[in-house]
Structure 1
Amino acid sequence: MNAQFSDALLTLAGPRLLWSLEQLDLFDQLVPLDSTAYDLNTPKAERSGISLRAHQIGALDNAGAWHWAWADGRVSDTPGAARSAELRELGTREGVGELAGPVLDLSGFPDPRIAANLLLTMCLGLLDARGCLVTRNHQQEPVFLITDDPAVPAAAPRAGRLEQYLQVVAQLEVPQLKAVKGWCARHGMEPQYGPGRVSATLPDGGGVTANVTGGRTVTGVSVTGPHGGPPADGGVPEQALGRPALPQPAPDEGMFPAALLRVAARHMALSVRGTGGMIEYAGEELGFVGAMPQWDAGAGLLRFPGGGLRTRALGRYDLAEGWFEWAPGTEDVRARFRAEAGLPADAAVPELDGARLGLAPYAKPESAAVLLARTAANVAGGVFTSLGNQFLLVTDDRLPAPGTDPGAATQDIRAGASWLNGLVPAGTRAETMRTVATSYFEHFGMDVMHHGMPEFLSGMDGLYEVRVFFGPDGTIVNATEGMAFMPGQ
């Protein structure tokens, strides 16, 4: 690393590092990686349909500066920032500058995001937390959270993975022997020392031995089962999630309304293609090379270096505060959405009314906001785009109707389906996800083939085939392209 955390921080966090990594390993097993929503007023985070008590620790800005939540004016007065203040107190008491100051510059590290993840892992140990979560705020900055929900058990010794965890310890240049001692202490094991090794008896009667060179570097770890035999479980015991401290939604609670969901399923992958087509046009005709365009609300233009595209405000959202609202003047867009959903003009539909919509009831708040805006833009015959938390509807008639190809189709269908994940009731999931694929294929004149069902659905484009694969629960799990009817496709 070009930069390094201070000796004071590593001395404080080092003895906790192995079991912090062990705990994080268990957490990711029990609460699988997925998009994460959070509410600092509750405070909670939701991932993989599981709602847990959680707290923001920090956020990383585009310049590589870490902002502690206790000092971040955007969140400092929320209940979800309270535990970060414990780290400030600890840093002040122990003389650890990284913890005591409001901002920590990580720009000197080769990758500030990796450094931020390592810092979060150290914070997990310092707070004796149960897991880490990473998401983004509406400024699109990475946000780092910990959960201390008792539903997540404290990790039992995962001795078979110690060698893997020690690689991270080595990256931080923490004395590995001290980390091993800290791991033993965490699990109530008394280390035993011999020439070039340290060993301990595991709770199940097995043993773990770390070979040590130079008094501090671990060169290998071996694990045995009771009586010296092989460990029956590979040294990784099974553990289960308990009952979360927060109420969990019923299976169909937090889902997208059925009538709107049917429309979204038909339009989401097509909306992704439309956005991709607009970006391609801007690159070819308007000098777009990656820098964010400017939204000129007064002129109604999305400005690129070589010109602008006629654009309307569509809506905006705020995940931290938990709301979405349509822009003024979008009554026509919402009316077309209602009509395609078969809803009477006077039917009460909170998602399409003009009032600010609370996102907290949805299992995936950000996905709900994006589903509404993307679907509405496509139904209205325009193109969806966004700048931060601002949703826009591009209506410029110079944009050509986008085409597709097998490679683009696989990306569009996967991306469109990803926004639906977590918002579709189990009873209609298979049908909804099939609709995502078939609507896309039919729109672009591809023949729909069902010969691979229930494993996959195909779209035929001449000699090429796009296969959309489904999991046992109906979710789209992959999409591939290749020559038609080839077994390896």
Structure 2
Amino acid sequence: MTASFSDQLLALARPNLAWVCEQLDLFDALVPAGVVSFDRDEPSVTRSGITLRAHVVGTYALDGTWMWAWANESYRDSAFAVRSRELRELGERAGVPELTAPMPDLNHFPDPRLAADHLLLMCMGLLDARGGVICAVNERSRLFMVVDDPAVPRAEPRAARLTRALRNGAGLLPGPALKPVKGWFARHGIDPVYGPGRVEGVLDGGDRVVVALEGEEVTSVEIAGPDGSTPGCGTAGEQELEGARLSPEAPHRTFPRPLLAVAAREMAFSILRTRAMVRYADDHLAFAGRPPLWDEQAGELRFPGGGLTARRLGSYDSEEGWFRWAPGTEDIRDRFREAAGLGPSDAEDLPELSGERLDLTAYGPREAVAVALARTAANVVGQTFTSLGNHFFTVTDERLSGAGEIDLDAAVADIRNGASWLQGLVEQETRDETMRSLAQSYFERLGLQVWHYGQPDFISGVTGLYEVRVYFSPDGTITQVTPGMVMGASM
């Protein structure tokens, strides 16, 4: 199976790639990266407090699969998926397998997550969209939307932006560089002149753009004004949004970076501790999958065969969207602050640890915020996190100690699950650092040797002849976790 999209899809999408890169460059400048939320009924997307008309095209899951919105029970009958249905109709007319299969598998790509990002760019081009937005819809999947709001202007040529667009558009996907270059000129209504290894055309203002290319690469882009003067597109001002709706009440708060750094170190190992508790309850307390009862007076989680000493940690209301620490958890929250390197003067800026009811509607993935706070706090004090519904507990029972024997398959699951809870909380600029810290900290806590021979693609946790590899995409996202022989093929 080839690590590429089909020839049919590339033939349709490739001519659009350069102008799509240009358009997305403008969109990201006008609608800066920030907390994202969406309204499927309107339909719209809100990013950094700016609300725009948008439609979902698909979702991507951590198992490497893409699901089109027209095939997704959550969206397919809504107005939110109308542009996705247009893509399916286009695929049926042009015989494009990726556009007509309900759930294309992207695992044959070296980086399935990056392939999903590329698929969004192709959708933008095929739908003549004005922007693209990705949102963490829950701890395990991402939602991909195209913006078609007229408040976002169509990108006009600007020197730096068009240079990046022509280079990046040509290099984005396999194929001759001439296709996206021709598509860019056509987008701007220019009838270019073709010569050996070059394409040149004149913009409306008289600027001349000369693109040199070789095979699949744009080797240079030269821009000059009339008679060799300074190009007007190099000094023109930036375009602006025209009538976009501001939404100051939309989600706007991100998970604080000092707390995120602690969560990265603690989350996966906390999941290991919870798994060990379940195993102990199975072996000694006749758990058998039946939820325990909380005995407030005894301070125990009561299983059919006995109890585990515990204390309340906090609670989360999924409908109203709030989280609150339980009374008497000041010591745990103080340890959390210490682990984050924060002093008393920093507490005023951290409502997440204040003890007051925390309004989670200000955040993107609400449940992930609540779980990250509670899990991290329990692990910071060396205890085990568990939950009964939306009530969180920390298990203090001294019979739960140590990580037990090393189980590579379980380690794979711990890292994957830890990363899935954190992925929606991590901003782009800290993703690589955060996710590598998650993997390395887990290995160190488990007593595995950390090997970096696979950097930047992966790091390994090694025990004897075996290792667990954690693979990263270029932006730092954990894309795959696999067990295998040391420096051998993954299992």
Fold agreement, TM-score > 0.5: yes
Q: Return the letter of the residue paired with 2:246.
A: Q
Q: Give the corresponding residue for 1:177.
A: 178
> Any conservation in 2 of the 1:69–1:84 contact (CA below 8 Å)?
yes
The structure-2 alpha-carbon separation of the partners of 1:61 and 1:205, relative to structure 1 and needing over 3 Å to count, comes to same
- Structure 1: segments with no counterpart, 5+ residues: 258-263, 289-293, 318-322, 338-350, 401-415, 422-489
Q: Give the corresponding residue for 2:66.
A: 66
What SS does the corresponding residue of 1:115 show, helix, strand or coil? helix
What TM-score do you get using the length of structure 1 for normalisation?
0.60
| Mapping 1:138-287, distance limit 5 Å | 138-165=138-165, 166-213=167-214, 218-231=218-231, 234=234, 238-244=238-244, 247-249=245-247, 253-254=249-250
> Any conservation in 1 of the 2:59–2:142 contact (CA below 8 Å)?
yes
> Any conservation in 2 of the 1:130–1:146 contact (CA below 8 Å)?
yes
> Any conservation in 2 of the 1:159–1:208 contact (CA below 8 Å)?
no
Higher mean displacement: 130-139 or 8-17: 130-139
Separation in 1, partners of 2:363, 2:273: 36
The structure-2 alpha-carbon separation of the partners of 1:41 and 1:225, relative to structure 1 and needing over 3 Å to count, comes to same
Separation in 1, partners of 2:20, 2:302: 46
Q: Return the letter of the residue paired with 2:63.
A: A
Separation in 1, partners of 2:85, 2:221: 37
> Any conservation in 2 of the 1:27–1:131 contact (CA below 8 Å)?
yes
Q: Give the corresponding residue for 1:37.
A: 37
> Any conservation in 2 of the 1:223–1:235 contact (CA below 8 Å)?
no
**1:2 to partner: Cα distance:** 5.0
Q: Give the corresponding residue for 2:411.
A: none
Q: Give the corresponding residue for 1:394.
A: 393
Separation in 2, partners of 1:256, 1:184: 38
**1:152 to partner: Cα distance:** 0.9
Q: 1:431-475 CA deviation, whole Å, 9 max, x = no partner? A: xxxxxxxxxxxxxxxxxxxxxxxxxxxxxxxxxxxxxxxxxxxxx
Q: Give the corresponding residue for 2:291.
A: 298
**1:109 to partner: Cα distance:** 0.2
**1:168 to partner: Cα distance:** 4.4
Separation in 2, partners of 1:113, 1:63: 10
Q: Return the letter of the residue paired with 1:248.
A: L
Q: 1:345-398 CA deviation, whole Å, 9 max, x = no partner? A: xxxxxx979xxx9x8xx56454599479959998xx9999799xx755233235
What SS does the corresponding residue of 1:22 show, helix, strand or coil? helix
Q: Return the letter of the residue paired with 1:393.
A: F
The structure-2 alpha-carbon separation of the partners of 1:299 and 1:249, relative to structure 1 and needing over 3 Å to count, comes to same
Q: Return the letter of the residue paired with 1:249.
A: S
> Any conservation in 2 of the 1:225–1:231 contact (CA below 8 Å)?
yes
Q: 1:34-85 CA deviation, whole Å, 9 max, x = no partner? A: 2311121221111111111111111112221110011011222222111110
Identity, in percent, stands at: 39
Higher mean displacement: 107-116 or 48-57: 48-57
Separation in 2, partners of 1:112, 1:324: 35
Higher mean displacement: 173-182 or 106-115: 173-182
Q: Give the corresponding residue for 1:315.
A: 316
Q: Return the letter of the residue paired with 1:205.
A: G
Separation in 2, partners of 1:280, 1:395: 14
What TM-score do you get using the length of structure 2 for normalisation?
0.59
What SS does the corresponding residue of 2:182 show, helix, strand or coil? helix
Q: Give the corresponding residue for 1:320.
A: none
Q: Give the corresponding residue for 2:21.
A: 21
Is residue 84 of structure 1 aligned with residue 84 of structure 2? yes
Separation in 1, partners of 2:395, 2:175: 57
The structure-2 alpha-carbon separation of the partners of 1:295 and 1:270, relative to structure 1 and needing over 3 Å to count, comes to farther
**1:140 to partner: Cα distance:** 2.3
- Structure 2: segments with no counterpart, 5+ residues: 278-286, 294-300, 331-355, 401-421, 428-491
Separation in 2, partners of 1:372, 1:22: 39
| Mapping 1:349-388, distance limit 5 Å | 362=361, 364-366=363-365, 370=369, 374=373
Separation in 1, partners of 2:109, 2:147: 26
| Mapping 1:105-124, distance limit 5 Å | 105-124=105-124
**1:226 to partner: Cα distance:** 3.1
Separation in 2, partners of 1:47, 1:145: 12
**1:96 to partner: Cα distance:** 1.1
> Any conservation in 2 of the 1:56–1:81 contact (CA below 8 Å)?
yes
Q: Return the letter of the residue paired with 1:116.
A: A
> Any conservation in 2 of the 1:49–1:363 contact (CA below 8 Å)?
no
**1:160 to partner: Cα distance:** 3.5
| Mapping 1:367-446, distance limit 5 Å | 370=369, 374=373, 393-398=392-397
> Any conservation in 2 of the 1:38–1:44 contact (CA below 8 Å)?
yes
What SS does the corresponding residue of 2:27 show, helix, strand or coil? helix
